[in-house]
Structure 1
Amino acid sequence: MHPETHLQLQHVRAADLRAEADSYRLATEAGNPGRLRTRVGWTLVEVGLRLASAPRPAVAAC
């Protein structure tokens, strides 16, 4: 990949991350921290369920 193209993609990604961070900041300043809290909570639930579930049995390939 050409270095200039790679650099441009990094700039676009950084701008996206800044915009997302601003939206979280505005939500918490507006007194609505529930969006981030809910998202983190469900992520933790998903991780817990994956850890608690029984591993699938290995299938032998013949």
Structure 2
Amino acid sequence: MHPDTHLQLHHLRAADLRAEAEAYRLTAETRNPRRLRARVGWTLVEVGLRLASAPRAAVAF
């Protein structure tokens, strides 16, 4: 393959990859609130499990 042809193909592929990365970045930004909500939800589940499994102090009657 001629070097100029190879260079042109490289530039085209690099432009395609940059466009794909930008599209992925924009898509990831729109999904961010769902991810935050899931993290908060799982944190609440973890706190609840820790409270439920906390050792109980002996009760004196």
TM-score by length of 1: 0.48
Q: Which one has more relative contact order, counting CA pairs under 8 Å at least 6 apart?
A: 1
More helix by proportion, 1 or 2? 2
Bigger Cα Rg: 2
